[in-house]
Structure 1
Amino acid sequence: MRIIRALGRNVATEVAVAALARDASAGGEQMTNATAQGYLDALARVFVLEEQPSWGPHLRSRDRVRKAAKRHFVDPSLAVAAVGANADRLLRDLDYFGQVFESLVVRDLRVYADVHDAIVHHYRDSAGRDVDAIIERRDGSWIAVEVKLAASREEDAAASLKRFAANLDTARTEPPSAMMIITGGQYGYTRADGIHVIPIGALAA
């Protein structure tokens, strides 16, 4: 339970095993990194935990692509239950609510990606550029997705996607088939810059 609570607090992040072991040790028996890794492996085997692997395109810059996977529960409600949160607490802690919302979106994207024989990755590099989800098909085509709980963060998400796309070496990595922002808002549309804004409730449409 201590490792599950630590995972719940760090859902949808690239938290390291050592950090999880420290978190799980707080106020209790010391947990080693090896023990924490053993629990993570066991949770993955019984389909409680799922990792979102890193994606590595060719870049114009010399920035290094981070290789750590993001950690998600198969059902993001497990993260909420693990930390003892409820609706009121989530509304008081919008940063954590955003993590849970991202995990919810990634879960849904995985369901739809599986139908198209695609894999959902994430991207982060040493310059701080990151993309919440990269959906890649076997033919190499891919879509970049930013996730924002608040529709008011649309401009930030669009700027992040465009910075990321501008750093790609398009001679060796083909540009994205589409770029999307998935929000907790109500309306879906395509912006003047071609980026699609999609409310989570319309993902299956």
Structure 2
Amino acid sequence: MSHLLPRKALSGLDERLDNFRVVVVGGPRQAGKTTLLRLLHQGRGGTFNTLDDPTTLSTVRADPTGFAEFGALPRIIDEVQRGGDDLLLAVKRLVDLDDTAGQFVLSGSTRFLTVPTLSESLAGRAVFVDLWPLSAAERAQADIDAPTLLFDPASLRATPLAASWSRTDYFNLIATGGYPEAVRFDSDRFRADWFDGYVSTVVLRDVAAFADIRRADLIPRLLRLIAARTGSGLVLADLARSLELSHNTVRDYLGYLDIVYLTANLPTWSTNLTAKLVKTPKSYVTDSGLAAALLGADPGPLAEPGHPLAGPLTETFVFAELTRQLATSATRAELSFLRDREGREVDFVLERRDGTVVGIEVKASATVRDDAFKHLRWMKERVGDRFRAGYVLYLGDQIRPFGLDLTALPLASLWGGMPA
């Protein structure tokens, strides 16, 4: 694997900069934002600054307007949230005076629209680009747009895997995750050490910058609880009881984890399918490697049949892969899940803006039986013509039809089966 893998977000970032005054690149720390912005700077010129540099940050705090006005366009500012409201207001004033495209690229390791200490959102002036850790498709350098293909089952069925993936291969990929720094480690122990340090850094630096965390030591425990409960709705009372904290404190901490991109909520599918749908969202750790490290799950034991964490971590991986590919996909689709009070559930639902939907179930097994499709069939009956396809993603190596619009699909099909 090359030291620097191409990122699919770069071309989209370049295009948006040609059309918008401000482009904001958001994503978790260490996902590759700084590298992406340096590549953009190399290609387009302009001015690059990072507020992780103490001298630069001091300059911003002393004269935010002067800093925002300085340098050739585009003015690229990394970790912009550290400059606070004064810097964002200065950027706003400048782009309000001039509607020329390509003035600013701002990046942040927080969702600064929701950071409690920032009031300025640049609403109506900026377009947002998410940069997540590497997808499996990026690690494999596969030229594939899986969300688009999922809505084209005939083409997907006709696309053979480029290589055969074993169960061991899958769990090596799942337990490694996509953070570029973590991917480079050959040692499971060193990777776990890196993740421990990563969580501590994000909590003590990024979260502490905008929130009063009195029990920072409980954040890793909260993350572990979320990782272990993947696939089930989070019950605030259970989390509060486990951590011996108040409901309000747990709710705040969950919000902080979402702001720094360590977790993300998956909403229930909005539909009039039935009045008996469960409305509680699911929450995921946004990287399967981080989730595996939090749970102490190494790839070797995970690959053994019957491991209790194999299912949750595989589902976490699929959530992360779909989220990452949707960020660069030509298909505009929303990701959600479907569950009713009678226990019927479809792990993931993709809905395009034209109302067509795809249902996805996830199985951490090398084989698929017909009963794995029962909830997809139930969904298809009720959705009717809007239903485009249903898939069971599994850890095998054969694409197999299970009736009209229903397919057992190897997980590696999401990246063309290319070695990662």
**Bin for the TM-score computed over the shorter chain:** 0.7 to 0.9
Quick one: which amino acid aligns to residue 12 of structure 1? G
Out of 382, 386, 389, the position equivalent to 1:175 is: 386
CA distance in structure 2 between the partners assigned to 1:155 and 1:63 by the alignment: 28
Aligned to 1:36: 250
Quick one: which amino acid aligns to residue 310 of structure 2? F
Asked if 1:96 corresponds to 2:309, the answer is yes
CA distance in structure 1 between the partners assigned to 2:411 and 2:337 by the alignment: 18
The verdict on how the C-alpha distance between 1:135 and 1:156 changes in structure 2, with shifts beyond 3 A counting, is same
Quick one: which amino acid aligns to residue 33 of structure 1? H
Aligned to 1:14: 233
Aligned to 1:109: 322
Out of 116, 119, 127, the position equivalent to 2:342 is: 127
Where does the alignment leave 5 or more consecutive residues of structure 2 unmatched?
1-219
Give the alignment of 1:137-176 within 5 angstroms.
137-166=352-381, 168=382, 170=384, 174-176=385-387
Quick one: which amino acid aligns to residue 351 of structure 2? E
Aligned to 2:299: 87
RMSD (Å), alpha carbons: 2.0
Asked if 1:77 corresponds to 2:292, the answer is no
Kindly state the Cα deviation for residue 123 of structure 1 after the two structures are TM-superposed.
0.4
Q: TM-score, normalised by structure 2?
A: 0.43
The verdict on how the C-alpha distance between 1:87 and 1:169 changes in structure 2, with shifts beyond 3 A counting, is closer
Check the 8 A contact 1:124/1:131 in 2, yes or no. Answer: yes
Out of 265, 268, 272, the position equivalent to 1:54 is: 268
The verdict on how the C-alpha distance between 1:84 and 1:92 changes in structure 2, with shifts beyond 3 A counting, is farther
SS at match of 2:316: helix
SS at match of 2:415: coil
Kindly state the Cα deviation for residue 58 of structure 1 after the two structures are TM-superposed.
2.5
- Bigger radius of gyration among the two: 2
Check the 8 A contact 1:11/1:79 in 2, yes or no. Answer: no
Check the 8 A contact 1:5/1:83 in 2, yes or no. Answer: yes
CA distance in structure 2 between the partners assigned to 1:89 and 1:13 by the alignment: 23
Check the 8 A contact 1:121/1:133 in 2, yes or no. Answer: yes
Kindly state the Cα deviation for residue 71 of structure 1 after the two structures are TM-superposed.
0.8
Asked if 1:118 corresponds to 2:333, the answer is yes
SS at match of 1:120: strand
Kindly state the Cα deviation for residue 198 of structure 1 after the two structures are TM-superposed.
1.3
1:26-69: per-residue Cα shift (whole Å, max 9, x none)?
A: xxxx211111111111110001101111003233xx55111111
Aligned to 2:117: none
1:138-176: per-residue Cα shift (whole Å, max 9, x none)?
A: 12111011111113343232122112323x264xxx431
1:61-105: per-residue Cα shift (whole Å, max 9, x none)?
A: x55111111111110222211122223443375342101101111
CA distance in structure 2 between the partners assigned to 1:93 and 1:21 by the alignment: 30
Check the 8 A contact 2:370/2:402 in 1, yes or no. Answer: no
Check the 8 A contact 1:12/1:100 in 2, yes or no. Answer: no
Asked if 1:65 corresponds to 2:295, the answer is no
CA distance in structure 1 between the partners assigned to 2:267 and 2:233 by the alignment: 10
Aligned to 2:198: none
Out of 395, 408, 412, the position equivalent to 1:197 is: 408
Where does the alignment leave 5 or more consecutive residues of structure 1 unmatched?
none
- The structure in which a higher percent of residues are strand is 1
Quick one: which amino acid aligns to residue 408 of structure 2? V
CA distance in structure 1 between the partners assigned to 2:228 and 2:306 by the alignment: 12
Kindly state the Cα deviation for residue 113 of structure 1 after the two structures are TM-superposed.
2.9
Aligned to 2:124: none
SS at match of 1:112: helix
Q: TM-score, normalised by structure 1?
A: 0.85
